[in-house]
Amino acid sequence: MTDPESLAVGGLAGVAAAGVNYIDGLESVQLLVCLGAVWAVGGWSLSQNRRVLRHSDTVHRLLCVLLLVGIPPFAIHADLPLGEFRVPLMFLATGVAAAGIGLGADMNKSSNGN
């Protein structure tokens, strides 16, 4: 069951990610909507499954941090002529990683019967 607190966290994460990029000068509405949606799903799934993530072992915690912090700067190739879209695409890659971690924790929770 989805609790309202997790929905609020997801909505806040989506609005914050899209808002920061809008304030930074991004004018692509489609990219702002995608950023907001991906970060909303990521925030919702991470807060929904925080109990599973909190009780994971050290190796899994380190892999989550590496996935969220280490991968997104390298997810977008440096030689692509993206101009102003490089940073928003890094935000998008981080949101996809967060959503993947949260949804993976949800699958773990449902397979263990917790």
Nearest-angstrom CA–CA distance, 78 and 86: 9
Q: How confident is the model at residue 87 (pLDDT cuts 50, 70, 90)?
A: confident
Average confidence (pLDDT) over 12-29? 92
pTM metric for this prediction: 0.84
Query: Which residue range forms the structural domain that includes residue 93?
Result: 4-112
Percent of the chain with pLDDT over 70: 96
How many domains are there within the chain?
A: 1
Q: Residue 113 corresponds to which tokens in the numbers above?
A: 């019967």
Check pLDDT > 70 for residue 1.
no
Q: Residue 33 corresponds to which tokens in the numbers above?
A: 């909507």
Check pLDDT > 90 for residue 60.
no
Residue 68: predicted pLDDT? 83
Print burial letters for 70-100: b (CB count within 10 Å at least 16), e (below 16): eebeeebeeeeeeeeeeebbbbbbbbbbbbb
Of residues 64 and 15, more confidently modeled: 15
